[in-house]
Structure 1
Amino acid sequence: MALKIRLARGGSKKRPYYQVVVADARSPRDGRFLEKVGSWNPMLAKDDAKRVELNNERIQHWLDNGAQPTDRVLRFLAEAGLAKRDARNNPEKAKPGKKALERAAEAKQKAEDAAAAAAE
């Protein structure tokens, strides 16, 4: 059985509250789970101590037994010092595409032509 440490959504509409749970990977997001090991309240301030609450002992037990955390939960675990999360960065994402480079080159050429015409 593949186990995941993931978030299960609770709370009302537009007021989310999440439980950190250990569940079978095939079960639905808010469905059956094996154990609740923490909570996350995104409505609280980022520096609030009650924003993320984790049961470190139980989480470590499940990690030792092969449970895989999701990316968001892995962020929480990295902050708590329970797991290591590799920094993800895609430097290619910020670069402009081919069409944008062509438009920039065309605009630059027009500006140079206008400056040359004004100089004459």
Structure 2
Amino acid sequence: MVKLRLRRMGAINQPFYRIVAVDSRKKRDGKYIECIGWYDPKPDPSKIKIDTERALYWLGVGAQPSDTVRSLLRKAGVLQIWHNSKQKKNQKTAEAE
């Protein structure tokens, strides 16, 4: 199963995270399939950059985000887009029947 989770980067006391799509059996900082964004928690407010198109693709093929990544996707607005697209699909199928 593919998961969307954080991969820690940066030096001691200077954490920096990449948001990656990875096989769930791999280690936290092991080999990943694709990097879809990054998260820098140090500045105030923290910085988040997510490739929305790729995040939606991975959610569409069944990737499960970790709790932390889910909250980051929510802050970036990706989960709202995902929810709206699913509602539109459901409405179209209901109208077709």
Where in structure 1 are there 5+ consecutive unaligned residues?
85-120
Deviation, structure 1 residue 23: 0.1
For residues 10 and 77 of structure 1, the distance between their equivalents in structure 2, rounded to whole angstroms, comes to 19
Which has a greater percent of strand? Answer: 2
Which has a greater percent of helix? Answer: 2
CA RMSD of aligned residues (A): 1.1
2:42 aligns with: 43
1:59 aligns with: 55
One-letter amino acid of the structure 2 residue matched with residue 13 of structure 1: I
Deviation, structure 1 residue 78: 1.0
Structure 1 stretches of 4+ with a deviation exceeding 2 A read none
**Max radius of gyration: which structure?**
1
2:12 aligns with: 13
Deviation, structure 1 residue 44: 1.3
2:94 aligns with: none
1:70 aligns with: 66
Q: TM-score, normalised by structure 1?
A: 0.64
For residues 31 and 80 of structure 1, the distance between their equivalents in structure 2, rounded to whole angstroms, comes to 25
1:28-39 correspondence runs (5 A): 28-39=27-38
Task: Count residues in correspondence.
Answer: 80
Secondary structure of 2:78's match? coil
1:25 aligns with: 24
For residues 80 and 17 of structure 1, the distance between their equivalents in structure 2, rounded to whole angstroms, comes to 17
Secondary structure of 1:83's match? helix
For residues 17 and 75 of structure 2, the distance between their equivalents in structure 1, rounded to whole angstroms, comes to 17
For residues 25 and 79 of structure 2, the distance between their equivalents in structure 1, rounded to whole angstroms, comes to 23
For residues 7 and 55 of structure 1, the distance between their equivalents in structure 2, rounded to whole angstroms, comes to 14
